[in-house]
Each structure stands twice: as C-alpha cells, then as structure tokens.
Chains A and B, each alone.
Chain A
Amino acid sequence: MSVSTLATWAVVIGGLLLLCKPMGMYLYRVFTFQPTLLDRPLRPVENLIFRFLHVSRDTTMNAVEYGLAFVMTNMVWGIMAYVLLRFQGLLPFNPEHFHDLSAGLSFNTAASFVTNTNWQAYSGENTMSYFSQFGVLQFLQFVTPASGAAVGLAFIRGLSGRKLGNFFVDLTLVLTRVLLPLAVIFGLIFIALGVPDTLAPYLHLHTLAGQTQVVPRGPIAGWEAIEHLGQNGGGFTNANSASPLENPSALTNILQSIAMGLVPVSFFYLFGLFTGKKRLAWTLIAVAGTLYLTMLAMIYFPEVAGNPIVNAVGLHGHANMVGKEIRLGMGGTSIFETSTMAFTTGSVAAAQDSFLPIPGLAFFLGMFLNMVFGGKGVGLLNMLMFVILTIFLMGLMVGRTPEFLGKKIEAKEVSLTALAFLLHPLLILVGSALAVATPAGMAGVFNPGPHGLSEILYGFTSGAANNGSAMGGLAASLPFYEVSIGTVVIIARYASIMAMLLVGESLLYKKAVPQTSGTMRTDTPLFWGILLGSIVILNALTFFPVMALGPIAEHYLLLAHHLFA
C-alpha cells in the first residue's frame, strides 16, 4: 500500500473522528436551543420564517403530527419538482434551450430527489436547465436531507425522554445552522480547487486536434457542496464525481469524502449527548466504524490486485482501472466509494458497473445495512433499529424482558421495529424478482451473466436504501424502471421512518425501570461484538441466497477466467 493511499485514508478517517465530537456538541447546543456564535446573524432570519409559519421554538408535536408534517412537506416538494421539471422549457436560466421532461422521467426524478435518493435516470448536462439544476434539484438536495435529519432528531429526543419538538423548527434550524453555512464553506473551497460556478452558457472550444468540444459549466461548486454534505449524491453531470468538472483533483475527492460523513457521524455522538450515554454512542460508532473499514478493505485490495482475465493479457501493472480516473488514485477512489455506500450518498467517483465482484459485494453490504453511519438522522434510526432487535434477541436467550435506555422493549416496539427491518428485503427482493420475471425488466440489463442480475439487484437495493447510485449499465430510463424504482424509493423512505418515529414516541411515554445488576449493558466491548454479530447474521440470513447468484457466483467465474458474450 502506497504512502499516498495511507495519507488519503488517514485524512478522511482521522478528520471524521476528530470532527464528530465538536460537531456533535455544536448540534446539541443548536437543538436544545442554547446560544451559539451564529445566533446574531441568523436568529432574525429564522424568527421571520417562524413568524410566517406561526410556530415558535418551544412548541412540540406528537409523533403522528410530526410524521404528518414531514410527509406533507415532502409531498409539497414532490409536486413542486414534478411541475417545474414538466415545464422546464418555459422557465428562465436555460441557456442551452433544453426541453420539458417527460411525465415518467419527471415522476422518477421528483420521487428520487424528494426521498433523498437521487437516483438519476437522466444525464444532467444534456437534460436539465440551470434553473432545474439549482432551483429544483439543488433545492431538494438541501431540504430533503434536512427533513430526514429532523425526524432523526425527534426520535433521539423521544429516546432521551424529551418532547419530540416541532418539525418546522427543526427543519429550519438544520438548514440555517448546519447545511447552509457548511455548504458555503465547502463550495468556496471547491471553486478555489477548480470546480466551475457560473451561470454563463456552456464553453465552446476549438481543440488542438481541430474538433469542436462543448464543455458544460454551471453553478456546479455549490451543488457539489450540498450534494455531499446532505448525502444526496445526485450528480450535476452523468459521470457524477468521476467527472473532472465535479471532482477535479485528489483534494476535492478527499473533501467530498469528508463532507459526506461529517454530519452522519456527528449524529451518533449527538445521540450520546442527548441520552447522557456517551459510551453507548462510542460503542455504536465502533460498530459502524468496523463495518466501514471492512467495506474499505473489500473495495481496495481486490481492485489493486486487478482483474485476473485482463492481467493474463500481459500488460504493465495489474490494478483494475476500468471506469476509474487517474488523478484520484486507487486510494482516493476506494475511500470515496466506501463513503458513498456507507453514508448512503450515492455519488460515484468511478463506474460502479466495472468494479470486481467483491467490491460489488461491499457496495451491496453498505446498502443492505443502511446504517454504516448512513444518512444523517436516518442512518442512526436504522442503527437503533438493529440495537432494539439485538436487545430483544438477547432478552429471549436469557429469558428476561429486554430493556433499552431504562425502558422496557415490549410487543409494540418489537413489532414496529421488525416491520421496519423486513420492509427493506421485501422491496429489494420482490422488486428484483418482478424485473427478472418480466421481459420489460430483462430488457434493461446491459452486462451478460451473473453481473446482469447484480445490475437489477443493485437498482432496487439502491432505491430501497435511498442511496441513488447505479450500476450504470442498467437502462434506468426504461418506463419499467422509472415507475418501479420510483415507487420503491417512496415506500422505503416513508414507511420505515414512520415506524421508527412511532417506536420513539412509544418509548417516551413508558415508565423508566431502575437499572440493576441484571440489566444488560449496551456500552461495553461485549455489546459491540453482539450487535455486530446480530447485524451480520440477520442480514446474511436475508440476503445471502441472492448474493450467491450475483457477485459471489461472478467472483468464482472470474477466478476460472470465464467470460460471457
């Protein structure tokens, strides 16, 4: 392993570890309404918004009201996005004169961006006007992760015995106090490092070789900042962060990897501050961190060793560079890819379809688990879902009523949690089965052999995990996939969030039981092992059969130098 790779990894991982505590403490102050440095410039703006909305900082909602506000706000955004995309041709800031989007593509794009999935069945640089890019899609990349974070906050408050809070207050503060200031800082650095940010039309170049090259421009740097800070992952161009326009250097690559993880990791620490159980927070960070490092190793080492069939051709070097970019290096590419799958961002710095099978398996792992830190707030929800399931399983084994944070976990919580857990494989497996069983679904497959099955599975998994990356060969713009994946992203996002919100509220109103010597500790290395084991076993039982048909089969065929035509 080269010094450059080690340094790149050290900066990203070390940066996230060092920043999660101060960032978590800042979030704690903001969301318990304590004074912070940004009060003076931002409070008047926020107060104006609250006055228009007739809400105040100290009001609270119950779980149903909170969930309803979340869903209705998202619905308004979805309708707004659909209409604006449908009539793109009539709107301003369209220097390249792009036409209206079709109904199917407008639905798919609105659904995918409203759910913070950012699955893209289009190529931005030849489909979307500047207005659609910044006025519709970039706007959604701000507000939809903020609304997910708000729900995460309500859940944390419930678990820590506080009132849930007001959705509109939380939504506004996540935006004004967290995402907007960070986006301005990251955006400026991206411009300095070479990412364009302009409203001028595309560049027309007369190349040395005597051709004409049209290079897209646009308000890209600001987009990149919020794309990654919000774990959105929708690219300005089709190639996303593999494109030199979006990710021009090894430094922008490192900063984008850090931007993705900054808030999600801090949310774990924030959970510790709210509940007063910092050791529990570090235990959960250790579980997610272990899985993160596992994915990193699963991606890096096979790619460096390369494709055995290609290496048999006898050329210089061995690393698999198909679909990768020279300037990012294998170290930079692998940490970006790990981050985008762990934090469910879904931007890509290389072609997902051209990775070897074991790295492909790591991509699936990130999306199946959906809690290797995950998106901000939502990832923590998923982690706590596994914590509750694990505590329940342990309780069954030793014959005691399971408890978490001093509250008894009973039939209602376990049923809701199990529902949230089972929804994920249900959407992925039923969706994929439908695609494999119908000619309309099979028509979208690009690569032959088991890799083709992986493409379909990846599409539905990405939708269900609200990740949004794709094995790009899959013809995502076919009506079958526009509608089916568009539907999956909506169910996956709202049903699981609602279930967990109800769990949080149900725990809030339970009487606390005193901790005794018989209470199972959740902040020890032992619990780290048990939780990790439960996560691996629960998911292996669910997904191993289908993985055996996809990436695992492909891995052994690759070792046997088997090619598909």
Chain B
Amino acid sequence: MLLTLRRAVIATALLWLILGLGFTFLMVGLGQLFFPSQANGSVVTLNGQAVADRHVGQYFGQSLQYFWGRPSATVSLTTGKPEPYNALNSGPSNLGPTNETLIKDIQSRVHVYLQTTPGLKASQIPLSLVESSGSGLDPDISVQSALIQVPRVAKYTGLSSAELRHLVRSEVLPPALGIFGVSRINVVLLNLALYQRIHPQAKIH
C-alpha cells in the first residue's frame, strides 16, 4: 500500500517533467521555429500597429460604414452586460430552440437590417447573419450575408455598389483544399480591404 503510494508519487513527478514541462516547451519551441506567425496568433497589422487576429472576429455593429459580422452573445466579465466579440469571455447565447427570447432576438436583428439597408427584403437576409455564433468570435459570414450589406456600406462610404460587390467577391475564402467547409467572407479582412480602398496609403500586413 505504502509502496504503491510511493510509486504513484514518483511516477507523477517524472511524468510531469516530461509531459507537463517538456512537451509544452517542445511545442512552443517548434512553433516559434517553424510557424512563428501562426504560433503568435496570426496578427494583422495596420500601419505597423496590431489591429486584428485574422481568425478572431471583431465587433463592427456600431459603424454603419463597415460590414457587420454575426451577432455575438459574449458579455462583459465585470458587469455581465452584453459586450459583443469579447475574446476574453468566449461563448454562445445558450438559447434553446423553444425559448421565446431566441425568436425575439432574431426579429429585432432583422428589424435593424431592414431599417438601415436601402431596398432590403427580409427574405434576402441569411439566417446565419441574425443567429449568434458558438464562440461569439466567429470571424466569418456567408457571401450572401456580405452582398446584402452592400447598399448600406455604399451609402455611408460613398463608394459605388458595383465597386463594393467586386471587393466582396475578391475577399471570398474558398473551402479548405477546395472541398472541406464552405465559401465564406472573413469580415475583419473584408473591412480591412475596405479601409485600404478608402485610405490607399494604409499599409496592411
């Protein structure tokens, strides 16, 4: 009994050195050596300043001149109030399919799109654009979701609808290896491209 306990403690200590410390430092080291950009968070810079993690969505809902991402249900850590795209507190809405709040939220988001977008019909709005994501940090929207926002973005940026549609099409991310997953638009990257269109001297890396 006591011998078993001693073995358990020794095994734990030795395995911890290999798996707790060794494995972690090995992976960090290999990552920094071979894939430093990805390992450090796939940072995108604007004029030399870190502006985005290319995989993590950002909140644009207060700016009419930008394309909007999916609704995010994340909340503030301190107040518990809604704080969309709070990467420090990832998570979904957890609303069940028969929860009245789910339907009310969807209807109010549809209302906002109809109010702000000239000529938009409800039947054109993709469901995914008004349903909140699993992480609250989804960077992507469907291609249709970007295209229906073009009239609003055109109105508030002064760019032509044709130019914006062209911009959206040039930002389509194809399925991985051409077949896995779906064609989609990364909203952060699309808005950065839009920013560059308006500020041609901006340097984005």
Contact = CB atoms under 8 A, between A and B. Distances in A.
A binds B: yes
Interface of A: 3-4, 7-8, 11, 45, 49, 52-55, 65, 68-69, 72-73, 75-77, 80, 123, 125-126, 134-136, 138-139, 142-143, 168, 171-172, 175-176, 180, 183-184, 187-188, 191-200, 202-209, 211, 213-217, 219, 221-222, 226, 237-239, 242-245, 248-251, 253-254, 306-307, 309-310, 313-329, 332, 348-351, 353-357, 446-451, 454, 471-473, 554, 557-558, 562-565
B112 interface: no
Contacts of A309: 97-98, 103
B133 interface: yes
Contact of A563 (B31, B103, B130): B103
A326 B142 contact: yes
Given A209-B62, A357-B97, A558-B98, A326 B92 contact: no
Interface string B186-202: 00100110010000000
A354 B131 CA distance: 11
A191 B53 contact: no
B41 interface: yes
B176 A250 contact: yes
B185 to A, nearest CB: 9
B90 A326 contact: no
A219 B7 contact: no
Contacts of B188: 208
A271 B82 CA distance: 51
5 contacts: A65-B4, A208-B52, A245-B137, A316-B127, A447-B99
A243 B53 CA distance: 13
Given A310-B102, A315-B123, 14 more contacts: A52-B10, A76-B12, A184-B23, A192-B38, A196-B42, A208-B66, A239-B135, A239-B136, A243-B137, A319-B128, A323-B131, A327-B182, A451-B98, A472-B94
A214 B77 CA distance: 12
Nearest to A249: B176
Contacts, number: 384
Best-buried of B127, B136, B177 by chain A (most CB within 10 Å): B127
A209 B60 contact: yes
A62 B180 CA distance: 49
Contacts of A205: 50-53, 58
Contacts of B126: 315-317
B41 A215 contact: yes
Contacts of A198: 28, 31-32, 39-41
Nearest to B83: A211
Given A188-B30, A319-B127, A322-B131, A208 B92 contact: no
A355 B20 CA distance: 36
Nearest to B184: A326
Given A49-B11, A184-B23, A217 B98 contact: no
A119 B171 CA distance: 39
Nearest to A55: B7
B56 A245 contact: yes
A313 B110 contact: yes
A4 B127 CA distance: 20
B134 interface: yes
Interface residues of B, number: 104
Contact of A196 (B41, B51, B195): B41
Nearest to A471: B94
A75 B9 CA distance: 10
Best-buried of A195, A213, A314, A554 by chain B (most CB within 10 Å): A213
Contacts of A72: 4-5, 8
Contacts of B38: 191-196
Contacts of A184: 23, 26-27, 30
A250 B23 contact: no
Contacts of B40: 196, 198, 200, 217
Interface in B49-75: 49-60, 62-63, 66, 70
A449 B23 contact: no
Contacts of A180: 18-19, 23
A564 B12 contact: no
Contacts of A211: 58-59
Contact of A219 (B24, B93, B195): B24
A221 B91 contact: no
Contacts of B128: 317, 319, 321, 324, 326
Nearest to A61: B4
B16 interface: yes
Interface in B122-151: 122-128, 130-142, 144
B118 interface: no
Contact of B50 (A206, A239, A323): A206
B167 interface: no
A73 B49 CA distance: 49
Contacts of B62: 209
Contacts of A248: 55
Nearest to B125: A315
A4 B89 contact: no
Given A4-B175, A209-B66, A249-B181, A451 B97 contact: yes
Given A238-B90, A310-B106, A327-B184, A203 B97 contact: no
B87 interface: yes
